[in-house]
């Protein structure tokens, strides 16, 4: 069974300028009007670092939460040109952080670094959205389940504060490509993730989201996969209409 609340998380990646808060205002206004369903879901938007301070102030007393997209793996301050620490981001009033995204893994982030990031972010009281997922080659070689298990065990352990963890399953080959996993494949992967999370954390495991080419026309395909606790949405979260239509179509 899915947890009771579903997440619709928008990952803006390298997108947005100060006036882009207007897009998030539209999400907020949809949420307020959606009396029929809005107790069933939560919206979180992850703009780039440049907008975190401004947006977290603007949405402090609103229904939408703001997330960061990454952070450095050690220290509060240090000689790490161009990087920011969880401590620095937390001081802006940001509550959530995406870690382990495949685009960062592709540019050199290792499981060991992700583990350090997750631990440091949890220490700074973030809710961590931890991304895992197999790439095309791993899928072709039928290694998906092994890869997912390894990514989970290399980073998570039972001592972590599981209440502040969300896992996002994002098959790398599906991100930004319009390609979606077949429903049986997806059920298999999510079941595998949940059963490994149960082995790590026992009862009450973190929610597990799906991400990869979710948009307003594909979201209905996930309706029957009750195990999914929500979605991490890239491309389609940059437009108010697309993102709101995802939510509308999911509850239609």
211 near ligand PGA, rule: CB under 6 A: yes
Whether residue 101 lies in the annotated active site = yes
∠ CA 18-19-24, nearest 5°, is 100
Q: Are strands 208-211 and 230-233 parallel, antiparallel or unpaired?
A: parallel
* Tokens standing for residue 140: 């072709």
Comparing CB distances to ligand PGA, the nearer of 44 and 233 is: 233
171 near ligand PGA, rule: CB under 6 A: no
Listed ranges 22-30, 60-68, 114-122, 211-219: which one lies at the site for ligand PGA (CB under 6 A): 211-219
Nearest CA to 156 among 208, 231, 104? 208
Q: Are 214 and 233 in contact (CB under 8 A)?
A: yes
Binding track, positions 217-236, relative to ligand PGA; x by CB under 6 A? ---------------xxxxx
Whether residue 109 lies in the annotated active site = no
Residue with smallest beta-carbon separation from ligand PGA: 234
170 near ligand PGA, rule: CB under 6 A: yes
213 near ligand PGA, rule: CB under 6 A: yes
**Under 8 Å CB-to-CB from 63, ≥6 apart: which residues?**
28, 31, 32, 38, 43
Summarize as ranges the residues that interact with ligand PGA (CB under 6 A). Answer: 11, 170, 175-176, 211-214, 232-236
């Amino acid at each position: 069974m899915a947890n009771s609340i579903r997440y619709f998380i928008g990952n803006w990646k390298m997108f947005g300028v100060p006036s882009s808060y207007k897009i998030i205002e539209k999400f907020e206004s949809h949420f307020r009007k959606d009396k029929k369903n809005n107790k069933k879901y939560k919206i979180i938007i992850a703009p780039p670092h440049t907008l975190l301070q401004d947006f977290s102030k603007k949405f402090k007393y609103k229904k939408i939460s703001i997330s960061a997209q990454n952070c450095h793996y050690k220290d509060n301050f240090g000689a790490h040109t161009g990087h920011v620490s969880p401590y620095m981001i937390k001081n802006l009033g940001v509550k959530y952080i995406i870690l382990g995204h495949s685009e960062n893994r592709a540019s050199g982030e290792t499981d060991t670094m992700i583990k350090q990031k997750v631990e440091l972010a949890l220490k700074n009281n973030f809710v961590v959205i931890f991304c895992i997922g197999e790439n095309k080659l791993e899928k072709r070689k039928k290694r998906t389940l092994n890869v997912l298990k390894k990514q989970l065990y290399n980073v998570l352990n039972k001592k972590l504060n599981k209440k502040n963890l969300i896992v996002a399953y994002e098959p790398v080959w599906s991100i930004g490509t319009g390609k979606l996993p077949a429903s049986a494949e997806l059920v298999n992967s999510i079941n595998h993730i949940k059963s490994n999370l149960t082995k790590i954390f026992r009862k009450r495991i973190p929610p597990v989201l799906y991400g990869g080419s979710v948009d307003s026309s594909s979201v209905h395909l996930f309706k029957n996969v009750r195990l999914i606790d929500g979605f991490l949405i890239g491309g389609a979260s940059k437009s108010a209409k697309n993102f709101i239509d995802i939510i509308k179509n999911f509850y239609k």
